[in-house]
Structures are given as C-alpha cells and as structure tokens.
Amino acid sequence: MSKKFIPQQFLNRELGQLEFNRRVLAQAEDANVPILERLKYLCIVSSNLDEFFEIRVAGLKEQIKLGGVAAGADGMTAKQALKLVREQAHLLITRQYQVLNEDILPALDKQGIRFLRRTIWNDAQRAWVREFFFNEVKPVLTPIGLDPSHPFPRVLNKSLNFAVELQGKDAFGRNSAKAIVQAPRVLPRTIQLPPEISGGAHDFVFLSSIMHALVGELFGGMEVISCHQFRVTRNSNLFVDDEEVKNLRTKLQGELPHRHFGDAVRLEVTGNCSQPVAEYLLQQFELAPEDLYRVDGPVNLVRLMDIPGRVARDDLKFPAFTPGVPGVLQKKGADMFKVIRKGDVLLHHPYQSFKPIIDFIQQASTDPNVVAIKQTVYRTGVDSELMDALIAATQLGKEVTVVVELLARFDEEANINWARKLEEVGAHVVYGVVGHKTHAKMLMVVRREDGKLRRYVHLGTGNYHPRTARLYTDFGLFTSNEEVCADANEVFNQLTSLGKAHKLNHLWQSPFTLHSEILRAIQNEIRLAQAGKRAHIIAKMNALLEPETIMALYDASKAGVKVDLIVRGVCALRPGVPGLSENIRVRSVVGRFLEHTRIFYFGNNLKHDVYLASADWMDRNFFRRIEVCFPVLDKKLKKRVIDEGLKVYLQDNCKAWEMDGEGHYRRKDPRRAAPKCAQSALIGNLAGSSADSISKSNTKSSNTKSP
C-alpha cells in the first residue's frame, strides 16, 4: 500500500457492502412498502449475500489461505476483515429472519397469502401433500446412506439438501446412522395447494416441509431420528490465467462446471439442527464454527422471489406504469436515423422505454442502406431481441461485429451461447482485450447516405438487457455527432484490432484516460475554489473505492469545493470529517428500482460539464476494464440529466440515507418536510408521457445554473 494513503481516512469495502444490504433490508421492514414488495426485498438481501459470500468472502479466505497479509487502503488485513464480516453478517441474517417471521409472514397471512407449516395441516391437506410427494418428489430423489461404500456426496453450490439421522438396519443389514438427500433444482421450493384443498386462494407449502413430513418414506423400515435442511455456499470465482489461455471460450466452458464445486465458504442450517449434525457438516466442508449460519426458516429465501408473480394481487405490489417515450419518437414507425440526425435523443430507464433501442437495431438490421453494425455485450440475458436482430442482420449480409465479454460474472454461460450463435451465422465475434473486461456499453451503426458513410451511436450507463431496463435506472444517449461517433469507432477498433490508442475528441476511456481526466476535472474545481469562484462536484455511481480519487476529493473539500456524492452501494470515503471532508456529503438512495446510473457533474466555472459513464470510481473500472465516459453536449439534454439524475436525488427525503464519517447511514425523515421521492417523481413526470417534462414539473427551483 502506498504511504500516501492514510488508513484512517478510508472505510472497508466488505463492511460497506453489508451496510448496503442493511439499507435493502430496511425496505423489507418499511410498513409503507407493499407487502409483496417487502418480501422481494427480503429475497434480494439473500441474493446479495449469496454473491457476497461467493465472491468477497471467498476472496478474503483465499488471501488468508495463500498467506497474504497485504492490506487495502483502509489498512485492514484479510484476516481482520473476515472476522468483522462474520460478526456483522451473523447480525444481519438474524435480523433478516426476524423480519420474515415477525413482520412479513404475519402480514401476508392477513392478506390470505399463507405458508402452511406441516404442524397445522389438516387431513385433506396431509393427504394431498402425500400424493404430491409420491408423484412429483420421490421419483427424482436419490437418498444416499453414508457408509464406507457411499462417502459424503458432492454438494452443489447453494443447493437445498437434507441431513437425516437414522436408526435401525436396512435390507442388507447395514446400520448407517446418517444419510444425505439432495433436492434437485427441478423441484419447486414452494408448492401452491389447490384452493379446494387448502381453503384459500394463495396457500403454499415449502418443499422442506414436505421433505420433513415424508422423508421416512425414503428409508423403509428404518426410524428417522431427525431431518435438517442445509445449504452450502461455495467460492464462485473463476480462475482463468489470461496469459495462458489460447481460446477463452473453450477455457471458460471447461471452468464453468467447477463453479458449482468450489471451496465451501458458508454453511446454512435451520435453527433446530442438532449440534452434532452441524459439527459433522462443518467437518465435511472443512469450515470453521464461525462459518455456520443458523436460520429460523427456509435456508434459501431467494427461492421465494417468484411468490409475488404467482399471486394475482396488484393491490399488494407497486403500482404498474407504462414507460414513456420521448416525443420525437412517439410517432408509430418513426425513422430512428432521421430522428437522430435532427438531434441527440436521451432515454432515462426504466421511466422511459427500452423499446427505442430495440427499434434502432431492428431497423438497422433490415435497412438496405446500413452496411455495418457493431455492439458490445456484457449482459443481455438468455432471450434477447437485440441479439436476434444482430443474427438477422448478419444473415442479410451486413458486417456485424460483436464484442462479447465472456467473463461477465454469472452471465458467462449465456454470453458463450450468444457468441456461438453469432459465429454460426458469420458475425465477427471477439472477446475484447486480454486482462481487461469490456464493460463499455456501445452500439454503432454505419449507414450509406448521399454517397457517403454516416455513423450513428448509442452509448449507455447500463447493459443491453430489456428485463433489467425495467428494474435498473440508467441513461442512454443516441447521437450522430461526428466527433463522438469517431471516438466510439476508435474504441471499437481498439477492441478488435491492434495498435496504439489515439487521442479521443470527447470520450474518456479506461484504462487510458478516464482516471486522469476525472482527477484533472477535480483539480480544476480546486483551482476555481482557490480563485474565489464557485466550485461544485456532483457524482452519482454504484461504488466509490479508488484511493487516489478519494484523496483528490478530500483535497477538493479542503479547498472549499462543495462535493455531493450519491453512492448507491459501497463508499470508502469518510464524509464530514473536520479538516478532511467537511464539504463532502454522501447519500445513498434505495427504492423501487436499483440505482445504476453513473453521472459526473463538474461546475467548471458555470460551464456545467455533465458526463455519463459505464464506470464506477473503482480500481477495476479505471485500470482493468474497457469503459467509456461520454459528455452530454446538447444543452436541453444536459439540463435533463442534471434535473432527473442529480437534483431530484439530492432532494429526496423518503428513500435517501445520509452517511457519516464512520460509514453508518441515517435514513432521511420525510416528516420534517414535504415528502420528496426521486423515483416516484420520475415515474410521474416521465412514464407514459412526453418524457421531456421533469425539469418543468418537478420543482420550480430547478435550473441549470445551480445544481
């Protein structure tokens, strides 16, 4: 660690991620949130924690195993961090299940949505469950009795399993006291009972309840002493040596199956699991007692995520809305190229529709004047109209180039499949640059017009993924600006060809210029403040971790620059510390949608520079990824970004949390002032309407001169 970084000036990344999940859990605790949405938030916490253990905790354990003692900017070693993470994770998970049992399930029950425990089944329900077990469950189970010829089985990452204690002898005279039953993933974890059997329209039983009730049927003639759910979380990092890989796709296809059987990092059991069984399982997975998490309920809450979709109760969910479309695109069958030639077009998802992006590429795929299409793919999903359009364009003879990032975590398999399909029809498929993930969101179309070639570009802060475009907040920009298009073309050439990086007109790019340009822009605000001029920085992102950038922001604060940071997740900077960061405010907004936009505003002596980016302010984004940060040049669109992406979030007092210098968050209290909810305001102003009105109707005080 560089000596210029003082550990006391930085917060720990892993503890920051747990703090973020506390803010998500707070949504599940909030009685003002519809009850089925509260259940979703509870599931999201579990999903987040799964990835946290699979990646971050696994990384800490790997460092310890390899003998590494190097500390991050916060000065904490892996061993120290792991100790604190375990303590905080146990507290968080205990609270999560407390919310489930004391708040969520009783509230659902009042609405006629019940999870029937086996202890309250009546005779009719018990008979139905028994029939379901014999017809749908037992045929796909493979119980494994543990003895010298049947060793402890390989247990899949995050799968549901049962440890069974037995007594007696089987048909072969064996008296093994233990067995393992693995629940195949094809089995649903929640089963809806027919209304005529349950007496209610939305009654469910857990698969685990069925197993507990009928597990004895798997071991005929033997007595079941106990049956306990368990679930193991494994290290899911893929280890690919960039220097030795000759074919990344082939290598990944070989590595992906191993993800399910990486080193164990966490064991979850139910609270009533006996200590001997828990210790036995810990021994089998080579885990420490601190890695055992006892939970008061199902060991995998993620599998409850589908319940809201199975319950037809719109009154218990967030109100539905139709994403808006900019006025210039509202005409049915609008010519996207004609519209973009007239001026840049800004989309703000999910308040505005993702469909114009699909329309753009579909029009390009069939337009006889389009000669080439280039696109980056980081995450796009298993089913994608965009990918289908690229395949169709290739089949129609257009030059199609797709930069597929095969190492997009947990989307590797989908991306491999798309790469294969594109290659099969003759598209040019490349996998970016060795050692650098391609995280930039770029789409370029080359069209012949009036005897010459003209480029059209879409740049975004989010992935080309229609489903997440309904769940994540992101900006996307269409432009035919020649200099911006030339920059995008240069980045594509870097990704597909060889050669030196050339100077770009407008785009800041990782790993070459983004970091230095951010530092330069911060330094410029410092100079303005020192000259007695107004200086202001506003940055919205998912995470702020890179030490040199944080130090530059501290310098800006000391110089009198006003710094407003809207950081959804982890922030290693300590705000409000006297003599260090008293001019810096940090807030996090956690609401209906996942905040995903990256927006950087620099006052620049009232020029109001606004940039959108695919990158957070993290080491990996600055130095180990291909990222682009692009300016919003049109004054009206710049004002929209400031109003919709920054001001409204700085004014939020419903879903916003203020961070203190110790890394703790305090939720804003709307009772002290008129309630202002950024996401609700944006739905009201952008959804299903002409989408350029937020600056007019959100607040009269909004203006470009003073963000």
Instruction: Give the pLDDT confidence of 431-452 residue by residue, as tens digits.
Output: 877 778 889 999 999 999 999 9
pLDDT of the residue at 38: 98
* Tokens matching residue 523: 């330094």
pLDDT of the residue at 693: 41
pLDDT of the residue at 289: 97
**Per-residue exposure over 247-256, b if at least 16 CB sit within 10 Å of its own CB, e if not:** ebbebbeeee
Q: Which residue in 483, 482, 447, 466 sits closest to 374, CA to CA?
A: 447
Report whether pLDDT(695) > 50.
Answer: no
pLDDT of the residue at 405: 81
| Eight-state DSSP code of residue 352 | B
Q: How confident is the model at residue 175 (pLDDT cuts 50, 70, 90)?
A: low
Residues with a known catalytic role: 439
Asked which of 33-42, 60-69, 401-410, 479-488 is least confident by mean pLDDT, the reply is 401-410
pLDDT digits (tens, 9 = 90+) for 273-320: 999 999 999 999 999 999 999 999 999 899 999 999 999 999 999 999
Mean pLDDT rounded to a whole number for the chain: 90
pLDDT digits (tens, 9 = 90+) for 621-664: 999 999 999 999 999 999 999 999 999 999 999 999 999 999 99
- The CA–CA distances, whole Å, from 593 to 41, 175, 407, 580 equal 11, 54, 25, 33
Report whether pLDDT(388) > 80.
Answer: yes
pLDDT of the residue at 174: 57
Report whether pLDDT(562) > 50.
Answer: yes
pLDDT digits (tens, 9 = 90+) for 81-120: 999 999 999 999 999 999 999 999 999 999 999 999 999 9
Q: How confident is the model at residue 146 (pLDDT cuts 50, 70, 90)?
A: confident
Portion of the chain with pLDDT greater than 90, in percent: 76
Report whether pLDDT(244) > 70.
Answer: no
pLDDT of the residue at 288: 96
Question: pLDDT: is 173 or 97 the higher one?
Answer: 97
Cα torsion angle, 681, 684, 686, 692, sign: negative
Q: How confident is the model at residue 702 (pLDDT cuts 50, 70, 90)?
A: very low
Cα torsion angle, 291, 18, 522, 629, sign: positive
pLDDT of the residue at 416: 78
Cα–Cα distance between 153 and 163 in angstroms, integer?
Answer: 11
Report whether pLDDT(690) > 60.
Answer: no
pLDDT digits (tens, 9 = 90+) for 466-484: 999 999 999 999 999 999 9
Cα–Cα distance between 374 and 390 in angstroms, integer?
Answer: 9
pLDDT of the residue at 250: 58
* Tokens matching residue 662: 């110790």
Is pTM beyond 0.85? Reply is yes
Q: How confident is the model at residue 418 (pLDDT cuts 50, 70, 90)?
A: confident
**Per-residue exposure over 115-145, b if at least 16 CB sit within 10 Å of its own CB, e if not:** bbebeebeeebeebbeebbeeebeeebeebb
Report whether pLDDT(701) > 60.
Answer: no
pLDDT of the residue at 257: 55
pLDDT of the residue at 41: 98
Domains along the chain with CATH numbers: 1-111 (1.20.58.310), 116-301 (3.30.1840.10), 334-496 (3.30.870.10), 510-697 (3.30.870.10)
Cα–Cα distance between 488 and 630 in angstroms, integer?
Answer: 10
pLDDT of the residue at 700: 34
Question: pLDDT: is 242 or 579 the higher one?
Answer: 579
First to last CA, the chain: 36
pLDDT of the residue at 88: 98
* Tokens matching residue 688: 């299903």
Q: How confident is the model at residue 694 (pLDDT cuts 50, 70, 90)?
A: very low
Report whether pLDDT(247) > 90.
Answer: no
pLDDT of the residue at 151: 82
pLDDT of the residue at 409: 64
pLDDT of the residue at 168: 76
